[in-house]
Structure 1
Amino acid sequence: MSTQRIPIAELKSGDHVESFYMLQDVQIRNRKDGTSFATIVLRDATGKITGIMWDNFESLRNQTIKVNDVVQVTGDVQKFQNKLQMRVTRVSRVNESDVLLNDLLPSTPFPVEELKKEFRGYLAQIRDKDLKRLVQRIFDDPKRWDAFCKAPSAVSMHQGYLGGLLEHTVFVTRNALRIAENYPQVNRDLLVAGALLHDIGKIAEFEYERQIAYTDVGRLIGHIPIGHALIEVECSRIPNFPANKKILIQHMILSHHGHLEFGSPKRPKTLEAIILHHADLLDAQISNYLEIAGNLQKVGAKWEYSPMFERYIFGGTPDMLQAPPTLLETSSQSSELDHPVRPRSGNRAEEGLSKDDLLGLVEDPLEE
């Protein structure tokens, strides 16, 4: 087995590859002539690439090699429809004792220790003793804190990598506090506590040891109800915890997705919940956009469909944008002397404007 791994992010069209990766997906597909081929998705800590196998994939068909196995592949990288793909000629299973699984799972590009320090700094800012006790109780548990710092924030939509939950929570709290600077009416302690806790249920929603995927609990219940239940349990363990503060934190957790169709059983109804929703949405959408733009620019492409935005996103550089010729250009150039402009009196009837002239002065509503 080759002991070297070529990071997926460094692959270029024309590269010959002999390396090991995590097998993320396998599909056996039929061709019109009755034969079949296999498409696979290979992943490592730097990204993923689709592979295609025209033959020699019996081990995939009979599941001798399965999804989430570490595999050694031989193939050639090529560009197809503005994306890199690999034409794989050989795949074999690797002894996992020879590799580090953390090399095969993507992780946050930001220094984790700095994110932890910033998170703890926000916690220290909470002055309300009840809210501070609650947040400390949840995050001072070593096992829970470790899970929180390792967990992804999603499977694919945004920050779907190790450390993604910590990164997302810190960025959401940053956003919320910056929004709050404009509104002195905000209860900053409640806002910070809600921001730090809003996605706590994700530590049970996702698995991330061999793959980043939903757990059974994540699929059946989801992180929002899980977070709500956790607050209920932890508040019950704090003597005389005020019911009104518990309800306000639970409302922020239940409503932070903003809309019923996006998974929130309640819509935001307090100032802090409204701010949290927009701070959360802003980070999720910008993270999704930056990932798309980064991937497009690696292969010199500029458009990709985003399921999050439900539309095509332009992720190219400004110089890649092709602007059409201006509509004002004509085949024959005429000077101002050919059509002198006389000053208007302000009275269109006096100016002798026809009906067609008047219609031409009306702005096209589609341009707005």
Structure 2
Amino acid sequence: MEASPASDLDLITITQLRQIANQSPQPYRLHVQVESRLEKATSGGSPFFEVKLVDAGDSLVWRVFDNNPQFQEVTRLTRNAFIQLAGQWTDGKYGLEPRQTQMRPLSEDEAATLLLGDPDLATRQQADYAEIEAFTASIRDPRLLKLSSQFLQKHGERFRRSGAARRNHHARRGGLVEHVAQMMRCAVAIAGVYPALNRDLMIAGVLFHDCGKLWENVYAESGFTMPYNLTAEMLGHIPLGLELVNKMWRDMMDTPEAAEWAMLEPASETVRLHLLHLIAAHHGSLEFGSPVLPKTPEAIALHHVDNIDAKLEMFRRGYETGKELAPGIIEKFSPWPVNIVAPLPLVNLPPAE
């Protein structure tokens, strides 16, 4: 990196780094948070650290061996610390590797800017959340509308900082908002093609299907770490979601407004059961954690909408960060079991006369 100071280097995100690291070594700097620092030993008994670094959209593991000039400095790194890491970045044996590294703590202003997230990602997530609000407001059933609106009002802040998973898809701060928004767009489109589907129930089901992840996959208020907690570990997001919706529904039915719904058909209790069924059955099979198989058209539709969005997000991540084995062939990645192939582009037709 010669003698130029780190401040002269371009500041990029981890995702941007992945996109260019397979080129010749390039000097860049990252602003990241330390999620964990594990001390390990090589086969020869020498100590080294595995430091997991995260930002708003991605993560990487930095392996620091005892011959690294930063080794002693890394021993003093604490969990959740905000740092700048600069170096010549390559896609090496262990993935992304910095060489000739320089490291320093971030200032309070730099950390605050980092927490705002990548501007493009933050803009997309804000637009997604606004669309979730708009779809929710379009629900005609007053019970599902009230429940959904109260959920967003009470838990919106927590929703906006939850991931959709820890690893496989939308595993980032705000990822659950992206997942739910795309599922709503898909569910509404499918309801337009299959008008027998209950559109209101589909929208509410999408909103609540992963609501337990507000406790299972929520990020810390002041960071990009996703801490574990005993409640989520022992119950999982499906039972947590069922419990949350049941509690909110019971509270809602105790309000004076509920008296106006007494003569509505279908009955409120039936609506509650159908919504709970969507949460319980959305994994689609017992071996994947659903306590019951889908038994309604909305349940099977929601399961497939969920699965489509998760799988296509995995493909997107694979194309963006995967290793190209040959033109158009990307090496398989966890949890995808095979190499993936670049999609067929749209035909390039001449303009119509």
- Would you call these one fold, judging by a TM-score over 0.5? yes
Match of 1:251 among 277, 281, 284: 277
Give 1:280 deviation, angstroms. 0.6
Q: Matched residues, percent identical? A: 26
Distance 1:214 1:257 in 2: 23
Does the 8 A contact of 2:57 with 2:173 survive in 1?
no
Match of 1:145 among 147, 156, 163: 156
Which structure has the greater CA radius of gyration?
A: 1
1:289 corresponds to 2:315: yes
Decide which moves more: 285-294 or 198-207: 198-207
User: Hey, what does 2:11 align to over in structure 1?
Assistant: 6
Change in Cα spacing, 1:113 to 1:299, as seen in structure 2 (3 Å) is farther
Residue type at the aligned position of 1:313: N
Give 1:104 deviation, angstroms. 5.8
Paired residues, what number?
313
Decide which moves more: 243-252 or 20-29: 20-29
Residue type at the aligned position of 1:238: M
1:207 corresponds to 2:224: no
Change in Cα spacing, 1:178 to 1:72, as seen in structure 2 (3 Å) is closer
Residue type at the aligned position of 1:225: P
TM-score computed with the length of structure 2 as normaliser = 0.77
Match of 1:227 among 234, 241, 248: 241
Higher RCO (CA 8 Å, separation ≥ 6 residues): 2
1:198 corresponds to 2:212: no
Does the 8 A contact of 1:49 with 1:86 survive in 2?
no
Does the 8 A contact of 1:25 with 1:67 survive in 2?
yes
Residue type at the aligned position of 1:205: E
Equivalent residues in 2 for 1:1-368 (5 A)?
Answer: 6-7=11-12, 8=14, 9-10=16-17, 12=21, 13-17=24-28, 20-54=31-65, 55=67, 56=69, 57-61=71-75, 64-80=76-92, 83-87=95-99, 89=101, 91=103, 94=105, 97-101=108-112, 103=114, 108=121, 111-141=124-154, 144-209=155-220, 210-216=223-229, 217-239=231-253, 240=258, 242-296=268-322, 302-309=329-336, 311-314=337-340, 316=342
Distance 1:106 1:42 in 2: 15
User: Hey, what does 2:265 align to over in structure 1?
Assistant: none
Distance 2:139 2:11 in 1: 46
> Secondary structure at the residue paired with 2:332?
strand
Give 1:109 deviation, angstroms. 6.2
Higher percent of residues as helix: 2
> Secondary structure at the residue paired with 1:248?
helix
Distance 1:317 1:272 in 2: 30
Give 1:245 deviation, angstroms. 0.9
Give 1:281 deviation, angstroms. 0.7
> Secondary structure at the residue paired with 1:86?
strand
Aligned Cα RMSD in Å?
Answer: 3.1
Distance 1:272 1:317 in 2: 30
Give 1:21 deviation, angstroms. 2.6
Give 1:269 deviation, angstroms. 0.7
User: Hey, what does 1:323 align to over in structure 2?
Assistant: none
> Secondary structure at the residue paired with 2:304?
helix
Does the 8 A contact of 2:39 with 2:47 survive in 1?
yes
Give 1:300 deviation, angstroms. 8.4
Does the 8 A contact of 2:187 with 2:305 survive in 1?
yes
Change in Cα spacing, 1:145 to 1:116, as seen in structure 2 (3 Å) is same
Give 1:266 deviation, angstroms. 1.3
Give 1:316 deviation, angstroms. 4.8
Change in Cα spacing, 1:196 to 1:79, as seen in structure 2 (3 Å) is closer
Residue type at the aligned position of 1:68: N
Does the 8 A contact of 2:238 with 2:279 survive in 1?
yes
Residue type at the aligned position of 1:86: P
Residue type at the aligned position of 1:138: F
Does the 8 A contact of 2:89 with 2:97 survive in 1?
yes
Change in Cα spacing, 1:185 to 1:306, as seen in structure 2 (3 Å) is same
Residue type at the aligned position of 2:134: G
> Secondary structure at the residue paired with 2:91?
strand
> Secondary structure at the residue paired with 1:200?
coil
